[in-house]
Amino acid sequence: MTAPTDDSNNIGITGLGIIIGSTDTASLISWYRAALEPLGARWAEHFLIVGPGAIIGFDERDDVADKAAEPGRQMINITVRDVRAAERHLNTLGVTWVRPVEEVGDGWFFSTIVDPVGNYLQILQGPETP
């Protein structure tokens, strides 16, 4: 499969959103707001805006388990300007680190925490100049 070329017929992707299903969205929303608003996310009535055209939404469901069965199957990635500042903030919340902040090369830092229902949330920082 080849990548589409950029031409006048290409509609183009303008955003990305994920929806997290939960049996207790109020608690999950509260946790995500506490974790991400100090990093720059903004609450917009029913979802968190985490970047230009990027949102995290929440859906109360009765067809999901209370905890994620395979937390690594999908991972939410949030890129920040200062991963060490994000790490300090998240530590004040008592998060569980699956992967502590580490430099992985070429100016990239990766880390992974667990949300209250077991989903993985990665906090990344990229190089100043790609």
At the topology level, CATH places domain 16-124 in: 2,3-Dihydroxybiphenyl 1,2-Dioxygenase; domain 1 (3.10.180)
Look at residue 103 in the predicted model and tell me its pLDDT: 96
Phi, psi (5° rounding) for residue 115? -80, 175
Look at residue 102 in the predicted model and tell me its pLDDT: 97
**Tokens at 116, concatenated:** 């209250």
* Burial of 86 per CB tally in 10 Å (0-12, 13-18, 19+): buried
Q: Where are the domains of the chain?
A: 16-124
> How many residues would you count in the chain?
130
* Burial of 57 per CB tally in 10 Å (0-12, 13-18, 19+): middle
Each residue's pLDDT expressed in tens, for the chain with a length of 130 residues: 555 555 556 788 889 999 999 999 999 999 999 999 999 999 998 899 999 999 999 999 999 999 998 888 889 999 999 999 999 999 999 999 999 999 999 999 999 999 999 999 999 999 975 4
3-state secondary structure of 121: strand
